[in-house]
Amino acid sequence: MSKWPDAIPRESNKNLEEIESISNWFAIYRINKDTFALLEPFHIEEVVSYLFIGEEQALLFDTGMGVVSIKQEVEALTEKELIVLNSHSHYDHVGGNYEFTNVWAFNNDWEIKRMKNGDYSQKRFKNFEDSNICTDLPSGFDKNSYHIKPSVVSKIIKDQERIDLGNRKLIIHHTPGHSPASICIQDYQYKLLFTGDTLYPGEMYLDLEGSDFDIYIKSINYLNDLYEELLFLCPGHNEALISRDYLRDFKNACEKVKSIIPQNPPHRNIDFGNFSISF
Ligand SMILES: [Zn+2]
């Protein structure tokens, strides 16, 4: 996969209609009539959050890094009542949670605790070292005091839970491995799967606290079984719309990684071209 920042805007994102954003921090793309991707391309993580709009409610899947207000971006796209749901609790996906009162979380104590506590690590400023940023940081943002504010979790959800936003049905798939409560959202209407950090083009981290490679393989195999029901995937980093063939590529890559793990020490990275796997 081509390297940030030379690769931005990425070719696949350029094919999408871009919507003007309020801040210069987000790049907003239309996935379809009722779905938007909110990218943060000027940070090396290139996080992508997604907004689903139904006839009665809207759901924001992840809230990004919390550098500028994602709420004001979302409110410019919809006036519907907002639900926030996170793909998992890593800092780059929950940064804007504090702006919302209706935050749903998957039923997992470890991840809910992280969301409720926030992240006040003294090392967080390192995320904004010059080498990780390719634009001027927004005025009012202080990287030295950067932290993740606590989330107010208002509802717990379960695997296979169905959410109806009003003529807009979504289903939750629990896909642990990258983290214990990683989830994906399947959108039947548009045949899309929003994969969070369970699958994205780029370096896939399966060597983090809470990661489990064997469990991850089961999740990828499970998602691969949805292949025929899908047209595209919408991942949590780098690109907002990618081929469903990534499901097969990841499944095959995991089998390859699994076959060589016993002969190798931990903490290795294997490059598969459009993505790599760290384990
Ligand atoms: Zn993550």
At 89 the three-state DSSP class reads coil
pLDDT band at 50 (very low <50, low <70, confident <90, very high): very high
Would you state the pLDDT for residue 261?
Answer: 73
Q: What domain range is 221 assigned to?
A: 11-278
**Could you tell me which residues come within 8 angstroms of residue 56 by beta carbon, excluding any fewer than 6 positions away?**
80, 81, 165, 166
Flag the least confident range among 67-76, 116-125, 160-169. Answer: 116-125
Nearest to 163 by CA among 93, 60, 47: 60
Predicted confidence band of residue 266 (pLDDT cuts 50, 70, 90): low
Mean pLDDT of 44-56: 98
Domain for residue 31, yes or no?
yes
Residue 182 Cα, ligand 1 centroid: separation in angstroms? 8
194 CA distance to ligand 1 middle (Å): 14
Residue 176 CA to ligand 1 centre (angstroms): 11
Q: Is residue 81 part of a domain?
A: yes
CA 5–ligand 1 middle distance (angstroms): 20
**Is residue 2 included in any domain, yes or no?**
no
Between the CA of 215 and the centroid of ligand 1 the distance, in Å, is: 15
Tell me, in angstroms, the distance from the centre of ligand 1 to residue 179's CA. Answer: 7
Q: Give the confidence band of 267 by pLDDT, cuts at 50, 70, 90.
A: confident
Question: Is the predicted pLDDT of residue 262 greater than 80, yes or no?
Answer: no
Question: For residue 129, is pLDDT > 70?
Answer: yes
How confident is the model at residue 81, as a pLDDT? 98
Q: Does 21 score more than 80 pLDDT?
A: yes
Q: Is the pLDDT of residue 98 over 90?
A: yes
Domain count, the chain: 1
Distance, CA of 112 to chain centre: 17
Asked, for residue 238, whether it belongs to a domain, the answer is yes
CA of 237 to the centre of ligand 1 (A): 9
Q: What's the 178 CA to ligand 1 centre distance in angstroms?
A: 7
Residue type, 143: K
pLDDT-derived band of residue 1, with 50, 70 and 90 as boundaries?
A: confident
Rounded mean pLDDT of 15-20?
97
With CA atoms as reference, report the closest residue to 53 among 20, 31, 21: 31
Measure 88 CA to ligand 1 centroid, in angstroms.
7
Tens-place pLDDT, residues 180-208 = 999 999 999 999 999 999 999 999 999 99
155: number of Cβ within 10 Å: 10
Q: What CATH number is given to the structural domain containing 268?
A: 3.60.15.10
What are the tens digits of pLDDT across the range 214-260?
999 999 999 999 999 999 999 999 999 999 999 999 999 999 998 88
Which residue in the block uniquely carries the two structure tokens 């998957």? Answer: 106
Interval between CA 236 and ligand 1 midpoint (Å):
8
Whether 5 is in a domain gets the answer no
Q: Is the pLDDT of residue 122 over 90?
A: no
Record the pTM. 0.95
- Å from CA of 78 to ligand 1 middle: 27
For residue 18, being part of any structural domain is answered with yes
Distance from the alpha carbon of residue 86 to the mean position of ligand 1, in angstroms = 11
Q: How far is the CA of 167 from the centre of ligand 1 (A)?
A: 30
1 within a domain of the structure (yes/no): no
Q: Ligand 1: distance of its center to the CA of 252 in Å?
A: 21
Beta bridge pairs of residue 173: 184
Per-chain residues with Cβ under 5 A from ion ligand 1 = 90, 197
Q: Are 39 and 21 in contact (CB under 8 A)?
A: no
133-138 average pLDDT score: 94
Between the CA of 122 and the centroid of ligand 1 the distance, in Å, is: 19
**Residue 125's pLDDT band (cuts 50, 70, 90):** confident
Q: Average pLDDT, whole number, for the chain?
A: 95
